[in-house]
Amino acid sequence: MEIQTKRCIIRPFNESDINRFMDYRNDMDWMQYQGFKGLTKEEYAEVLLGGNDLNSGMQLALVDTKNSWLIGDVYLKQEEENCWIGYSICRSEARKGYAYEAVTAVINHLKKRGIKTVKAGVASDNVASIELLRKLEFIYLGFAENEMRFSFKV
């Protein structure tokens, strides 16, 4: 899967992405809301470079087309006609609209694949992510499994 936006490419991870991924994912303060963090290079490589798919969960690289730099990632997991989405942006590129741009493009791509609903789970104190989901017109469904749940009808 590869998705092009105005400023980014969303694509599978390459081995050359792993060090940059580690730089921002192992920033424990910045990644406080992420579960997938604090691993070794080998552990990250096994997950990110292993042949994953939408049904088992897929982590995709978010790359700036200007300089080919990894600036974040998007996680997708399909459940029948629904798809869960997660995203993170490295600290230096936060609040520049990349997450909005990436999630919008991914939703459009998922629509073409027949996905009917995109879901997201967010920690209740992750204000930036909650604001993003609201800007994208996700609907708040309630609280489940220690997180706020949101949904978007594609």
Beta-carbon count within 10 A of 148 CB: 19
pLDDT at 64: 96
Q: How far apart (Å, rounded) are the C-alpha atoms in residues 49 and 101? A: 24
For the chain, percent of residues with pLDDT exceeding 70: 94
| 3-state class percentages of the chain: helix first, strand second, coil last, to nearest 5 | 30, 35, 35
What integer best gives the mean pLDDT of the chain?
Answer: 91
Structure confidence at residue 129 (pLDDT): 93
Q: What is the pLDDT of residues 15-62, one digit of tens each?
A: 999 999 888 877 766 655 666 667 788 888 888 898 778 898 999 999
Total-model pTM: 0.89
Percent of the chain at pLDDT exceeding 90 = 70
How far apart, in whole angstroms, are the C-alpha atoms of residue 40 and residue 146? 27
pLDDT in tens, 60-71: 999 999 999 999
C-alpha 130/C-alpha 40 separation (Å) is 29
Q: What is the CATH number of the domain that holds 80?
A: 3.40.630.30
What is the arithmetic mean of pLDDT over 107-123?
96
What's the pLDDT score for residue 115?
Answer: 97
Counting the structural domains of the chain, the total is 1
- Strands across the sheet containing 117-122: 3-4, 8-12, 58-64, 69-79, 82-89, 117-122, 147-153, 139-144
Q: What is the pLDDT of residues 29-40, one digit of tens each?
A: 665 566 666 778
Which pLDDT does position 32 carry in this prediction? Answer: 58
Domain that holds residue 33: 3-153
Which tokens in the block code for residue 125?
């104190």
Q: How far is 10 from 65, CA to CA, in rounded Å?
A: 10
